[in-house]
A and B are shown apart, each in its own frame.
Chain A
Amino acid sequence: RKEVEQDPGPFNVPEGATVAFNCTYSNSASQSFFWYRQDCRKEPKLLMSVYSSGNEDGRFTAQLNRASQYISLLIRDSKLSDSATYLCVVNIRYGQNFVFGPGTRLSVLP
């Protein structure tokens, strides 16, 4: 089993739709969790950290379920500019143990 798994995608949704991404991780010792976005042929950029209590940033909501070892990202009212690949990232203990999921590609269509 891969350490971090994500929905295979791609997701093609119309503008204004709500879309949810799922991520599971295998190491119960994981400490920090992040969502990054990566535009085509660009570097990954931090979208948001994921906290135990869940957190929201505008149209984006992240949830963490430690018992199920599951992370989610919800995008509401999706925009054309949200089209990108979304990477789930898990940090096991110290900074060197970041593990990236393969990513899920999102295309928001007009």
Chain B
Amino acid sequence: NAGVTQTPKFRVLKTGQSMTLLCAQDMNHEYMYWYRQDPGMGLRLIHYSVGEGTTAKGEVPDGYNVSRLKKQNFLLGLESAAPSQTSVYFCASSYSGVAGVYNEQFFGPGTRLTVL
């Protein structure tokens, strides 16, 4: 039982390049999330998904796209990377989205992205 995994762990991009971050979970969770974490800012929600085939915008969605073609996978894409997207990206999943009902989030180990 691997929990939540993320690939890659590290990546360096040049401005304007594109890339996709992959998140996978083996807990059969319905809900999945992408966050970014910057110093002093806490985690901020980029996009989330409440089930296979559905996605929605979070607090800071600009410059990112996502897809959830399979229940266990949630992909985050950067179409044209910018230095402002240098950050640590965390994926998370939860069984439920209903407050108070098994909605604790489980996080992957993170992807450290640097955009030059």
Please give, as numbers and ranges, the residues of chain A lying within 8 Å of B104 by CB-CB distance. 34, 46, 49
B76 to chain A, nearest CB (A): 15
A49 CA to B104 CA, complexed, in Å: 8
Minimal Cβ-Cβ distance residue in A for B59: A99
Cβ-based interface call for A32 (8 A): yes
Please give, as numbers and ranges, the residues of chain B lying within 8 Å of A94 by CB-CB distance. 97-99
- Which of B31, B97, B99, B109 gathers most chain A CB within 10 Å? B99
A15 CA to B58 CA, complexed, in Å: 40
* 16 residue pairs bridging A and B, Cβ less than 8 Å apart: A31-B99, A43-B107, A45-B107, A46-B104, A91-B99, A92-B99, A94-B97, A94-B99, A95-B96, A95-B103, A96-B45, A96-B48, A98-B105, A101-B42, A102-B40, A103-B42
| Interfacial residues, chain B to chain A (CB-CB below 8 A) | 31, 33, 35, 40-45, 48, 50, 56, 58, 90, 94, 96-100, 103-110
